[in-house]
Amino acid sequence: MWTLTENSFDPSSQHHKETIFTIGNGYLSTRGAFEEGYPGESRATFVHGVFDDAPVVFTELVNAPDWLSMQVLLNGEKFSLASGEILDYLRELDLRTGLLTRRVRWQSPSGQVATIQFERFASLADQHLLALRCQVWPEFDGQIEIRAALNGHADNQGLAHWNHVTQRQENRDTVGLQTRTRSSGIHLALAMRLPGTNSPEPDYWDTENIPTLRQVFPAHNGQPITLVKFVGIATSRDTDQPLEKALVHAARPESWEAALEAHRQAWEQEWERCEVSIEGDEEAEIALRFSLFQLLIAAPRHDKRVNIGAKTLSGFGYRGHAFWDTEIFMLPVFTYTAPHIARNLLDYRHLTLPAAREKARQAGFEGAWFAWESADTGEEVTPTWVPDFHDKKKLARVWTGDLAIHISADVAYAAWQYWRATGDDAWFTESGAELVLDTAKFFASRAEWQPERGCYAYSDVIGPDEYHDHNDNNAYTNRLAQWNIQTGLQTLNWLEKNQPEKATELAGTLDLTPERLSKWQDVAEKICLHIDPTGLIEQFDGFFALKDVNLADYEPRTKSMHEIFGVEAANQYQVLKQPDVLMVQYLLHDEYTDEQIRVNYDYYTPRTDHTYGSSLGPSIQAIVACLMGDVDEAYEHFIRAARADLRDVRGNAGDGIHAASAGGIWQALVFGFGGLRIHPDGQWETHPRLPKHWKSLTFRFTLRGQQHLVRLENR
């Protein structure tokens, strides 16, 4: 199955549907708001890298001027789903081609009936091109008027980021608009062209900041009229002349059909690389393709200066900031299906090393400490205060920007994984090695020797389970920090053998003196790891002494345990927002025996807030359940992840796609149910554990430049 369908319009799920009907092309995305608008809509287009920090404290991705705007008037009455009567309604997103179609048979308040269809796509063949087609089948005689506009009055939920720069009519069928962000000074231009030599002459309305072309068509009962709108888009991040560039792209397509065909072919190639199918489970299959689609439309193909935000480009949530969600959840999808995209994303981290070094330096450490929330420059943009759940008049302190140090190891892990999977020695030598070494340097400098315990500690941190802050010796952080330092030493060895000049260069620039390296060795050997003889790992110092809770006592519930207990009090309970010990056992699973994983799985699973905790959790939980051979339980977690956006399980899908969950779903499928294991020498095998009702699972992945198609059948 490839199509997401909506058969009726329900205004109460408007924002959710806007998110899931988002289209995009890796340069920008546009939420599924209606061309003609609707009261209360959360209309938005986000363009990668277009951030601005006025009037907010921390920079945010800016809602771009609106390219969609189109009003249809039937004998003078404006089409709107907020008036008249909807006689028939269908909205479909074809995931195979990224074409969004909405067809409505509508009766105006005075009784004019027409079927109105809108189709739109963001071209994957030309990232600076957007296309919209409107067709109207009138059931009356008279006149149909269409007003197509570019609207510069876009804002971020009330916060205005744009200053008008210029607008003009280029020629009979083309107009342009240019605006500039208030503080970051990024220019963005849109050019709109309404092709079609047979259509009536358009009128140009030079409304300030909303250049509009209006066309009036005679209406004859049963005879359709068609209007195509091509929009070119460019910013000063791409060129010095964004309006000229936007005009060139708007002028390029010969026809709707030609533009759509080029776009279709580009999508065909995308899907070929990451083919997936599940026979016997339509819900899982569509969720999986939907997740891949959402990641693919957010993935920068031609820009190394941007990352993918936790909500992709599909909503206002988290202000477009990127987290560890990219490296640990989304990146594996790209590493194994579209390595060029993975490399771009890792290059973003490489480019933001100066900011990461500055963050470490300001905190009194060496090396690179990446921002927990990262935007254009890589500086820390995590808000320090946010409104409290219980009382919006109060503020709650957010500690992740100050304490979540594991992000540096997550970046190093992803760089290493990319290198192992691709064999891209040139990239590793040029950029990856520096990422691994400078993060190792950070962890070695951040470690504190604890003489009474005889080990190195990381005190005052936050691990993946964010229900607990200010922890000492978080298991995930400590183990990944150790891995990072060990891998740093291995990297240096590899460079010395294979790229001695680079080894010398990096030893110089990063000041990797023998004393420093022997400290790395010492930290790596003596890091505090709390593993009891059964293999049970304490999540952090004192976790087992916290109050225990039986989560079943709180059922049925519709809130997270964080909301139920309150931010401060949640710290006192053994309740996890998302896997923490299990997370590290997944990432480094070759280093643990099945028994060691089992004992932790049995301990932490009942203490995790699977339903309303973090959306990052269920897919990882599913993978670990697969490792344990608990396929039914794995499926339960997997389907919870699969429904996160499509069924809006947490009620916040309107803020944007849960991108980490989308990446996690693919990982659950390939590494969990498919049981794909990749060995350091590049050999691979599968240990399938398919749910009983699946007939087969098929997926394609790329390893060291070679594509492999895996088909696993349930016998």
- Contact residues for ligand BGC (CB under 6 A)? 310, 323-325, 464, 466, 577-578, 614, 616, 660
Q: How far is the CB of 329 from ligand BGC (least distance, A)?
A: 9
> In this complex, which beta carbon is closest to ligand BGC, that of residue 319 or of residue 598?
319
Give the span between the Cα atoms of 103 and 505, in whole angstroms.
Answer: 61
Cβ at position 559, least distance to ligand BGC in Å: 14
In a 13 Å sphere around the CA of 393, the CA atoms on its Cβ side amount to: 0
Nearer to ligand BGC, 560 or 702 (CB): 560
Cβ contact 619:637 at 8 Å: yes
Shortest reach from residue 311's CB to ligand BGC, in Å: 8
- The least CB distance from residue 483 to ligand BGC, in Å, is 19
Query: Taking the complex as a whole, how short is the minimal distance between the CB of residue 626 and ligand BGC, in angstroms?
Result: 21
Distance between CA atoms of residues 213 and 489, nearest Å: 63
CB atoms within 10 A of CB 609: 23
Indicate the residue type of 388: D
Q: Which two tokens stand for residue 527?
A: 């890091």
Q: Which is nearer to ligand BGC, 338 or 660 (CB)?
A: 660
CA distance 252 to 387: 47
Please state, in angstroms and rounded to a whole number, the distance separating the CA atoms of residues 239 and 132. 25
Residue 62 CB, nearest distance to ligand BGC (Å)?
20
**Peptide bond preceding 332 in cis form (omega within 30 of 0):** no
Q: Which is nearer to ligand BGC, 323 or 413 (CB)?
A: 323
Four-residue CA torsion sign, 560, 561, 564, 570: negative
Q: Which is nearer to ligand BGC, 616 or 670 (CB)?
A: 616
Which CB, 435 or 662, lies closer to ligand BGC? Answer: 662
Minimum separation from the CB atom of position 328 to ligand BGC (A)? 9
Measuring CA to CA, how many Å separate 530 from each of 475, 479, 512, 526, 649? 7, 10, 30, 12, 35
Which residue lies nearer to ligand BGC by CB, 323 or 635?
323
Q: Distance between CA 17 and CA 9 in Å, rounded?
A: 9
> How far apart, in whole angstroms, are the C-alpha atoms of residue 423 and residue 417?
10
**What's the rounded Cα separation, in Å, for the pair 314 and 512?**
42
Give the orientation angle of helix 475-498 with respect to helix 433-446, to 10 degrees. Answer: 130
Q: In a 3-state reduction of DSSP, which class is residue 168?
A: strand
Strand, helix or coil for residue 327: helix
DSSP-assigned beta bridge partners for residue 260: none
Q: Please say which residue, 578 or 611, places its beta carbon nearer to ligand BGC.
A: 578
Question: Which residue(s) pair with 90 in the sheet?
Answer: 103
* 577 phi/psi in degrees, rounded to 5: -75, -35
Q: What is the dihedral of CA 281, 284, 287, 291, to 10 degrees?
A: -130
Closest separation in Å from C-beta 392 to ligand BGC: 18
Q: Minimal CA–CA distance to 156: which of 389, 317, 352? A: 317
**DSSP at 207:** E
Distance CA 670, CA 665 (A): 9
356 versus 506: smaller Cβ distance to ligand BGC = 356
Q: Could you give the CA distance from residue 566 to residue 397 in angstroms, rounded to a whole number?
A: 12
Which residues are known to be catalytic?
Answer: 466
Minimum gap (Å) between residue 295 Cβ and ligand BGC: 14
| DSSP conformation class of 374 | B
Do you find a cis peptide bond into 195, omega within 30 degrees of 0? no
